[in-house]
Amino acid sequence: MRRPHPSAALRPVFFCLALVLALLAPGCARQTGEPFPVAAYLNAPDNLQGNRYTLEAEIDAQLEWREGTGRLIAVRPLGTEPARLPVFIADTLGANLMVAQRYRLELTVRRGGLLYVNALRKL
Amino acid sequence: MRLLFLLLALPFCLASVAPAQDAGEPAAAVAAPTKAAKAAASKAAATSAAPAVPATASGAPKSAAESALNVLGTGNIESNTLLSIINKAFDTDSDAFNPEEGTVNWKGHTYNVGQFRVFRARFERYLGQPESIDQDVYRAIVNEIFNLLSTRTGEAAAENTRKAWQLLYRASEFESDGGASLSIANEVFNAWRIRDEKEAIGVTQAELDRIRRQQQAAVSYSGDLIAKEGANVVSNASSLPGISGPTTNVNVNGASGAGATKGNTQGNQPASGSSSALSGSATAGPVAQFFRTRDLAETEAKIKASEGSAVITGIAAKLQFQSTLVTLFLQRRFQHCLIAASFYRYIFKGSAQSIEPKLKKEISTFLPSSDLAVTVETLEFLSREAMNETESSMQGVRASYADGQLVAALERLQESFFLGEFLPPVAQFEREKKQVLLNLYKQVDEARKLADLKDYDAVDKLVAQIGATAKDFRTSEVTSALRAAQRMSTLSLYGAQQAAASGDFARAQEGIQRAAGLWPLNPALKTYTENMAQQVDLGSQAAVLFDDASKRGDFRRIYDQRSELAIALLSDAVRGPQLKEIIERISRVEIYLAQAKELEAQNNAFAAWEALDAACTLTPNDVIVNQRRADLAPRVAAFVGRVDSAKRQEAAGNEAAALTQYLAAQGLYPASSLARTGIERVSALLLDELTAAAALAPARPATEAK
């Protein structure tokens, strides 16, 4: 009898690991690009419409919540001048947010300057 | 011719002979001489008989009254009855003076003293009239007349009556006499003249009666003679030798005729007439007899005419004199009525004292019973009573005046004046007292006029003056009545004001009319009407002002004139509510301004600015608010910039950007209510949009799949 290759025993482990990663990949933020320009946004939010940014911020307060739609959250950007920015986090993201938690947010500047969070990851 | 001679000779006979024709007349009554008749034409001649001894003012009437009672006899049943009736008639309670109708009611009779103005003028003239210096002389003359006419001096009645008659002419020269004495004098003279005529008629009647008797005898004798001659002719015709028969018969008859002649010779002239008639008859035939008969008939007719004339003349004289008596009485010239009655008594006989039925009606109102026999004495009693009453009334006037009860004195004097205007007690009232009463009279009259005009303030002052003068003037009653009227007027005005405030203008108008009716010169009424006029003026101006300020958003100006505008636009259904809303709004602005001021003081510029911003939302154009905001803006510029930006983004529909700005503003001033409310409002809007978008999301992939 042919003696199995030692790496063959690890194949199911790698497979499972790959599967888990594949399953977790959509809910995790991915570093997609440039950081969010807070000052530019505060001065002229219309100029940033349609852009996608990454923002690391701390949860400051929940401004409004509408069940089935999502919530408006005020966050404080990390590493920049003190400011508070409103972001929308859809319920579909299934995030559990609490004040003072820090997240990396992948967001899009939508019409009207709405910072729409596409993905987030706790830091 | 003989008759004519007799008539011409009659006055001369009367001058020397004074036969008492009427049994009841005193002999003195016929003593009115023809010379006195001439003197009547000239007053100057009559005035020469001035009274030697002046009598007292009251003595003469009193003695005259006593004399009258003596004449009547106090125990006489008729006189007692008369006195009793007069006492009943003289019920003092029935006296009344009615100035409104200008009448004086005295003893049941109403004297018409003319129109009220005339009455007032007469009384005022009396009060202002000075005492006449001739009054004493006049009074003395009148008293002398009374003395002369007194029945006490009956033994010299003829001479006294003549003297009294002459004094009447002197009395008539005085102004206060009013010519009444002259009327009496003329009436007396007229009565005397009529009496003379009546006496002449009496003489004529006697002569005519004598002639008639002669004519009757002549006619009778001639008739007998003719009858005898006719019988002789018949007998001669039957026996021719009897030619001397007639001569014998004539002689026989001549003897009888001589007897007649003898009887006639005892008379004077008619004797010869009769003789001639007798001698004539011897030759006269039937024709002469006819003429004699006709003369007799004529004489008979003349006698009848003379008798009728005498009767008519007597009645006319009595009626005329009594008319004068009644007229004097009704004119309230009671003294002259007494004088005339005295003359009447001497001139006319006792049986002629009853008043003629034609005149009774005039004085019947003075008497309680229509069955009373009205005589000249009745008028005397009534006149005397009026004089006595005037005298006692004037005593009352003086007593009231002495006590300071001037109102009572004035009232009594007024009554006395209109009853005894021409009597001495009224005329003798002192000038200075009359002057005081005249002033009081004018003041009371003025107060009455002012009260009619409802000038209560002036009445009040005048009443105080009157009260200070006359202590019996009812000042308190008048004052309380004035106060009541004034109070009622003011209350009506208050009621009207309340009614106007509640919008009941009909009742307000009614109240004002009532207030003006009660007291037209009410000062409160004047003030109210002036305010009303100003309000009407302001009302028209206020509408323009309000519309202009409201259009420009200048609510501050409206607020500053809110009091005037509130009154002016009270009844304005459109502007009234708008004014109320503006006043409330600016009141809140004022609160914000005060709050901002306090916050500034606490160095809380953001809060102060927020207060001013709240005020600005109420009045965007308010100068004060904007000025304060401008003052504060540099201190809160960043915050204001964020808020302003947020509002602009919100207005543009960029809720997310607005939310960002609100959050930024809140970062600058965490306690900002502006930011908080903005965040809440914009967040809700934003989620609404996102919810709507999520609802549309399932369709989108399908769209994107295409």
- H or E segment and range at residue A106: strand A102-109
Q: With 60 as the cut, is the pLDDT of residue B682 above it?
A: yes
In this prediction, residues B405-418 reach a mean pLDDT of: 85
CA torsion angle B86 B144 B18 B2 (round to 10): -100
User: Measured on CA atoms in the order B522, B525, B527, B529, is the torsion positive or negative?
Assistant: negative
CATH annotation of B604-705: 1.25.40
Interface pTM, i.e. ipTM: 0.76
Nearest-angstrom CA–CA distance, B46 and B168: 8
Q: What is the pLDDT of residue A103?
A: 92
Contact flag B686-A113 (C-beta cutoff 8 Å): no
Nearest-angstrom CA–CA distance, B365 and B109: 5
Q: What is the pLDDT of residue A21?
A: 52
Burial label for B455, CB within 10 Å (0-12, 13-18, 19+), is middle
Nearest-angstrom CA–CA distance, B91 and B94: 6
State pTM to two decimals.
Answer: 0.43
Q: What is the pLDDT of residue B620?
A: 84
Nearest-angstrom CA–CA distance, B45 and B672: 132
Bigger pLDDT: B201 vs A64:
A64
Bigger pLDDT: B92 vs B133:
B133
Dihedral-angle region of residue A50 (phi above 0 means left; psi in -120 to 50 means alpha; beta otherwise):
left
Using alpha carbons, list the distances in angstroms from residue B287 to A28, A82, B294, B553: 200, 187, 11, 147
Q: What is the pLDDT of residue A109?
A: 92
Contact flag B657-A46 (C-beta cutoff 8 Å): yes
Q: Is B62 helix (H, G, I), strand (E, B) or coil?
A: helix
Contact flag A113-B664 (C-beta cutoff 8 Å): no
Range 33-92 of A in CB contact (< 8 A) with B: 41-42, 45-46, 63-66, 68-70, 72, 74, 82-86, 88, 90
- Tell me the angle at which helices B406-419 and B431-453 cross, rounded to the nearest 10 degrees: 100
pLDDT digits (tens, 9 = 90+) for B68-81: 333 333 333 333 43
Q: What is the pLDDT of residue A117?
A: 93
- How is domain A6-122 classified at the CATH fold level? OB fold (Dihydrolipoamide Acetyltransferase, E2P) (2.40.50)
Nearest-angstrom CA–CA distance, B616 and A57: 37
pLDDT digits (tens, 9 = 90+) for B459-511: 888 888 888 888 888 888 888 888 888 888 888 888 888 887 776 778 888 88
| Residue B56: CB atoms within 10 Å | 12
Query: Does A12 contact B at CB distance below 8 Å?
Result: no
Q: What is the pLDDT of residue B274?
A: 45
User: Under an 8 Å CB criterion, which residues of B touch A?
Assistant: 649, 653-657, 659-660, 663-664, 666-667, 679-680, 683-684, 686-688, 690-691, 694
DSSP string covering B582-632:
HHHHHHHHHHHHHHHHHHHHTT-HHHHHHHHHHHHHH-TT-HHHHHHHHHH
Size of interface A-B (CB pairs under 8 A): 70
Q: For residue A105, name the pLDDT band (cuts at 50, 70, 90).
A: very high
Contact flag A114-B667 (C-beta cutoff 8 Å): no
Domain range annotation of chain B: 1-240+253-368, 604-705
Cα–Cα nearest to B187, from B34, B318, B21, B288: B318
Cα–Cα nearest to B460, from B530, B531, B529, B519: B519
Cα–Cα nearest to A84, from A63, A66, A54, A112: A63
Q: With 90 as the cut, is the pLDDT of residue B349 above it?
A: no
Domain range annotation of chain A: 6-122
Q: With 90 as the cut, is the pLDDT of residue B566 above it?
A: no
Q: With 70 as the cut, is the pLDDT of residue B701 above it?
A: no
Say which range, A55-59, B111-115, B308-312, B452-456, has the weakest mean pLDDT.
B111-115
Nearest-angstrom CA–CA distance, B488 and B505: 20
Q: For residue B227, name the pLDDT band (cuts at 50, 70, 90).
A: confident
Q: What is the pLDDT of residue B681?
A: 92
Query: In chain B, what percentage of residues exceed pLDDT 90?
Result: 4
Q: With 50 as the cut, is the pLDDT of residue B16 above it?
A: no
Question: Do B537 and B564 contact (CB within 8 A), yes or no?
Answer: no
Q: What is the pLDDT of residue B258?
A: 40
Bigger pLDDT: B317 vs B634:
B634
Nearest-angstrom CA–CA distance, B594 and B686: 36
Say which range, B6-15, B313-322, B589-598, has the weakest mean pLDDT.
B6-15
In this prediction, residues B154-183 reach a mean pLDDT of: 84
Contact flag A45-B679 (C-beta cutoff 8 Å): no
Structure tokens at B474: 């009812």
Q: Is A55 helix (H, G, I), strand (E, B) or coil?
A: strand
Query: In chain B, what percentage of residues exceed pLDDT 70?
Result: 69
Q: Is A117 helix (H, G, I), strand (E, B) or coil?
A: strand
Bigger pLDDT: A74 vs B442:
A74
B130 HSE (CA, 13 A, CB side): 3
Q: For residue B250, name the pLDDT band (cuts at 50, 70, 90).
A: very low
Bigger pLDDT: B253 vs B339:
B339
Using alpha carbons, list the distances in angstroms from residue B420 to B385, B427, B529: 11, 9, 54
Q: What is the pLDDT of residue A27?
A: 44
Backbone angles phi, psi at B405, to 5 degrees: -90, 75
Q: What is the pLDDT of residue B420?
A: 84
Chain mean pLDDT for chain B: 73
Q: What is the pLDDT of residue A71?
A: 92
